[in-house]
Structure 1
Amino acid sequence: MEIKKCETLEELREEVDKVDEMIVELIAVRNDYIKQAAGFKHTVDEIKTDERIDDVLNHVRHKALMLGVSPNMVADIYRKMIDEMVETEIAELRNRGAF
């Protein structure tokens, strides 16, 4: 992704706002996939798998390092997102009447 060279603080803030919108849109896409994932699972234990969570966190930490972003910050954000999305997935499972 190319980073625009901004000439003013206002222009920079506009660009940051655009990035924030993209981030939220991507979180929404991820959340939609998580809802789909509930269709492949039958129990809460299948949703809350430490192995998968560790895989995701390791993957995003590695990507953060490659991009020069704090891996701890990225992992913290993902932990929160994963916690919330696990609850979403459980709700989807319940709505299906799986348990």
Structure 2
Amino acid sequence: MKTEDCQSLEELRRYIDQLDDQIVELIATRNAYVKQAAKFKQSIDEIKGDERMEAVMDRVRNRAMEFGVSPNLLTKLYKIMIDEMVEAEIAEFRNAKSL
């Protein structure tokens, strides 16, 4: 991971804003894939998939440590994100089944 040596607070904030834009776009893309997953699943229990959630959380914890970021921070963020995306996937599943 490469970061620039910023010469001012304004420059630093521009980089952070650019990163935030990328993060939001990546989360939106992830959410779109999660919604697609609903068409491959047979039940709401399968959507909630505790085993998959644990695997994702383990992977995130490991990646956080590789990059020197707090695993607790990332697992908290991912828990919120996954919980919300699971709800969106359930809604997608129910909509598809009602057609």
**TM-score range, shorter-chain basis?**
over 0.9
**Which secondary structure state, in structure 2, belongs to the residue aligned with residue 6 of structure 1?**
coil
- Greater than 6 Å deviation, 4+ residue runs: none
Shift of 1:2: 2.2
Richer in helix (by share)? 2
Residue-by-residue CA offset, 1:16-69 (whole Å, 9 max, x unaligned): 000000000000010011011001012100101111100000000000000000
Aligned position for 2:71? 71
Aligned position for 1:51? 51
Asked if residue 32 in structure 1 is aligned to residue 32 in structure 2, the reply is: yes
Aligned position for 2:7? 7
Shift of 1:14: 0.6
Aligned position for 1:81? 81
How far apart in 2 are the matches of 1:2 and 1:71? 20
Shift of 1:86: 0.2
How far apart in 2 are the matches of 1:55 and 1:72? 16
Alpha-carbon RMSD across the aligned residues, in angstroms, is 0.9
Percent identity, please.
55
Q: TM-score, normalised by structure 1?
A: 0.95
Aligned position for 2:16? 16
**Which secondary structure state, in structure 2, belongs to the residue aligned with residue 95 of structure 1?**
helix
Q: TM-score, normalised by structure 2?
A: 0.95
Instruction: State the one-letter code of the partner of 2:56.
Output: V
How far apart in 1 are the matches of 2:12 and 2:53? 35
**Which secondary structure state, in structure 2, belongs to the residue aligned with residue 79 of structure 1?**
helix
Counting matched residue pairs gives: 98
